[in-house]
Chain A
Amino acid sequence: MRYLKRTWPFHLMLLPALVFLIVFNYVPMGGIVMAFQDYKPWLHISGSPWIGLDNFRLLFERDDSMQVIWNTFLIAVLKIVFNLVTPFAFAILLNEVRQRFLSRSIQTMVYLPHFLSWVILGGILLEFLSSDGGFVNRMLHGAFGIKPIPFLGDGDWFRFTVIVSEVWKEFGYGTIVFLAALAGINPSLYEAAEMDGASRWKQTLHITIPSLIPIAVVVGTLALGNILNAGFDQIFNLYNALVMDKGDIIDTFVYRTAISDGQFGFATAVGLFKSVISMVLIVISYRLAYKWANYRVF
């Protein structure tokens, strides 16, 4: 009683958030039982027949779902790698620019795409990368005489386009955290190296890069949880029937099997498969980030 008397305002303040959290986050979690059912909308969860692990067996037996898992993994891993390496290198190069105005202008330009949605960027890229006289193909043809490249019309090119455009959108934003780390390096390290006659390249190799490694480890580790996140918004707004075999990912697959085909039980199972693996990876990655770099969110 004394506890409640002292803390009731806290509970009251948490109440609104808690209500929404329960309704929109925890109640849907109960719905994952559908993964073990042959769910029929008119029978609801209570009346639909239970089929055990059949949906999961189907997931591993169907060729299309296995292909989708592989696509997702491949695209996501490449995105993680390039979203780490590109900002890392870009930040080091940008740090060499001494003219403040120039550095600021470059930053302003590279941060911008992060804030635009994939609907806007998708609309832009569909036109910009079109093999039918799109801007990029016109430039390539004009400069090198290259035949039009099907950036969005061929499976392998599509994967390439998805990864490059993702990095294009996010690398600037990813630079921020590295720039902050660079600003935190003790200047006396460079002064000492200068005295010893170390060139700028040597300084970069022995001071700059080692100082960035811890933060890179944290960023990289935390990205582990995204290993099955290939980017629904992006793929959904860029893909088409031509690239379905190599460009379809778990999230788009779940959307289509549920909303277009009405296989709710199967779609739930595929989604659950992804959620569980992601959860395990996120927990592991946060543990590691805490152990290696003392990083914590909460």
Chain B
Amino acid sequence: MYHKTVPYRIFNVFNVIILLLLALACVIPLIHVLAVSFSAKSAADGNLVGLWPVDFTTIAYAKTIDNPVFLSSLWVALKRTVLGTAAILAVACLAAYPLSKENAQFGGRSVYSWLFVFTMIFNGGLVPFYIVIQRLHLMDSFWVLVLPGVVNVWLIILLMNFFRGIPKELEEAALIDGCGHIGILWRIYLPVSLPALATLGLFAMVWHWNSWFDGLLYLSDKHMYPLATYLQTVIVSRDMSSMSFTKQEFDLLSQKTINAAQIFIGALPILIVYPFLQRFFVKGLVMGSVKE
């Protein structure tokens, strides 16, 4: 048995060490940011913080939560995530049901399929899209964050593949009993697909929460930014105009600690749903690869 040989045992020890180091490398940057966010100005600006806070303080969080632009961006982010996810799921359920039918039952299926798939492999590019948004008068409107993302072809395909796994007999029995297709979708398909919908919903939520470019491109008023866009302008582009400091705060607060606190708050929702995501996403990947 190879498990018991000496060379294999030596390999195993090194292997575990290397894998653990790689795994730590994936979380250390996040821990560092967390440590900086709870550190004092002098320690952060003097580059003294490693993986543990130095001179623990929560003042960076207090200042962040005090910032009206931050709060409004948090609200916009929540709103777009909830509304956007609901819209994506509703449209995906309606579209995935007919697409999951056989060609014999729904003759137009392949035409529709191609219409959907073609958008995955070709797009007009940034400029024409921008012009269309302009002509639709969606510039500087909250809805520009929701409407363009409503059709998510990838999620529709995943859901379609899941629907195909539902036994045909259920549908046939319901049709004989006089139930229409909308009734079948609502009373049979949706109840048995709840776990799949939860998975897809989580993906859609993460996507919405993380989206930042649309806000930057189509919104000009900072108060309408979603959190991700706000963080992009503050942290990456270093635009601090939305924050004002008193003399006393200036002595206590550092740019670094405030940035770190904001980054961590931005990542927090993802970290909270992460355990659920992890349980589901492996299934999600497998679900997408179901073949006929």
* Interfacial residues, chain A to chain B (CB-CB below 8 A): 3, 7, 9-14, 16-18, 20-21, 23-32, 34, 45, 90, 93-94, 96-98, 102, 105-113, 115-117, 119-128, 132-135, 138, 168, 172, 176-177, 180, 194, 199-200, 203, 225, 232-233, 236-237, 251, 254-255, 258-259, 264, 267-268, 271-272, 274-276, 278-279, 282-283, 294-298
Contacts A10-B181, A20-B91; is A127 near B126 (CB within 8 Å)? no
Chain A residues, Cβ within 8 Å of B235: 119, 122-123, 126
Complex interface: chain A residues within 8 A of B199 (CB): none
Q: Which residue of A lies closest to B109 (CB)?
A: A10
The answer for the CA separation of A66 and B107 in the assembled complex, in Å, is 47
Q: Is the CB of B23 within 8 A of A272?
A: no
Distance of A263 from chain B, by nearest CB (Å): 9
CB pair B123 A119 closer than 8 Å: no
Q: For residue A233, which residues in chain B have a CB less than 8 angstroms away from its CB?
A: 212-213
> Is A225 in contact with B91, judged by CB distance below 8 angstroms?
no
Please determine whether B33 and A124 come into contact, CB atoms closer than 8 angstroms.
Answer: yes
The 7 A-B residue pairs with the shortest CB-CB distance in the complex, in nearest-first order = A31-B128, A271-B125, A133-B47, A117-B210, A28-B124, A10-B98, A123-B235
Query: B124 touching A125 by the CB < 8 A rule?
Result: no
Q: Quick one: CB contact mask for B274-285 with A, threshold 8 Å, 1 for yes? A: 100110011001
Partner of A120, one of B94, B125, B263: B263
Name the A residues within 8 Å of B3 (CB-CB). 98
B282: A residues at CB distance < 8 A: 176, 180
One of B78-86, B110-118, B240-248 contacting the partner: B110-118
Residue of A nearest to B27 (CB): A109
| Cβ-defined contact, B23 with A125, below 8 A | no
Instruction: Looking at the assembled complex, report how far the CB atom of B49 sits from the nearest CB atom of chain A, in whole angstroms.
Output: 8
Q: Which of B29, B101, B156 contacts A10 (CB 8 A)?
A: B101
State whether the Cβ of B121 lies closer than 8 Å to any Cβ in chain A: yes
CA distance A9 to B171 in the complex (A): 14
Cβ of A168 and Cβ of B291 under 8 Å apart?
A: no
Contact between B156 and A135, CB atoms less than 8 A apart: no
Contact A135 B32 (CB under 8 A): yes
Cβ of B231 < 8 Å from any Cβ of A? yes
| Contacting residues, chain B, for A11 (C-beta < 8 A) | 98, 108
Most buried by B among A21, A111, A203, A295: A21
Does B15 count as interface, using CB distance less than 8 angstroms? yes
How many B residues touch the partner, as a band? 35 or more
Give the residues in chain B near A274, CB-CB below 8 Å: 125
If the complex has contacts A135-B50, A176-B282, A298-B157, are A14 and B98 also in contact, measured as CB distance less than 8 A? yes
Which A residues are in CB contact (< 8 Å) with B127?
31, 34, 254, 258, 264, 267-268, 271
A286 to B262, CA, bound (A): 42
A123 touches B123 (CB 8 A): no
Is B270 at the interface (CB under 8 A from chain A)?
A: yes
Q: Is the CB of B151 within 8 A of A115?
A: no
Contact status A127-B277, CB under 8 Å: no
- B130 at interface by CB-CB < 8 Å: yes
- Given A117-B210, A237-B236, answer yes or no on A21-B231 (Cβ-Cβ < 8 Å): no
Contacting residue for A194 out of B2, B117, B129, CB 8 A: B2
- Shortest Cβ distance from residue B126 to the other chain A in the assembled complex, whole angstroms: 5
Count of A-B contacts judged by CB separation below 8 Å: 260
The interface residues of chain A lying within 8 Å CB-to-CB of B211 are 117
Residues of A within 8 A of B125 (CB): 28, 31-32, 254, 268, 271-272, 274-275
Given contact pairs A32-B125, A119-B266, A268-B127, A298 touches B22 in the complex (Cβ within 8 A): no
Residue of B whose beta carbon sits closest to that of A190: B2
Chain B contacts for A3, CB-based, 8 A? 107
Whether B174 is near chain A, meaning CB under 8 Å from some CB there, is no
Check if B24 sits within 8 Å of A119, measured CB to CB.
no
CB pair B270 A116 closer than 8 Å = yes
Known: A97-B16, A128-B32, A254-B125. A200 touches B2 (CB 8 A): yes
Contact partners of A124 in chain B: CB under 8 A:
29-30, 32-33, 263
B259 and A123 form a contact (CB under 8 A) = yes
**In the complex where A7-B107, A17-B94, A17-B151 touch, is A119 in contact with B278 (Cβ < 8 A)?**
no
Q: Closest A residue to B255 by CB, please name it.
A: A127
User: Is B121 a contact of A283 with CB atoms below 8 Å?
Assistant: yes
Q: Which of B5, B236, B282 has the most CB of A within 10 A?
A: B236
Within 8 A of A (CB), among B1-35: 1-3, 5, 7-8, 11-12, 15-16, 18-20, 22-27, 29-30, 32-33
Within the complex, which residue of A7, A112, A133 is in contact with B274, where a contact is CB–CB below 8 Å? A112
Q: Does B36 contact A (CB under 8 A)?
A: yes
Residue B196, interface by CB 8 Å: no
Find out whether the CB atom of A23 lies under 8 angstroms from the CB atom of B23.
no
Apart from the given pairs A21-B119, A31-B132, A128-B33, 7 other A-B contacts in the complex at a CB distance below 8 Å: A13-B182, A26-B119, A32-B125, A90-B19, A106-B19, A194-B1, A251-B126
- Residues in A with CB closer than 8 Å to B94 are 13-14, 16-17
Q: Complex formed: what's the CA distance from A11 to B94 in Å?
A: 10
Contacts of B117 in A (CB 8 A): 297-298
**A282 B119 Cβ-Cβ under 8 A:** no
Residue of B nearest to A21 (CB): B151
**Contact (Cβ within 8 A) B151 A24:** yes
* Beta-carbon contact of B8 and A200 below 8 Å: yes
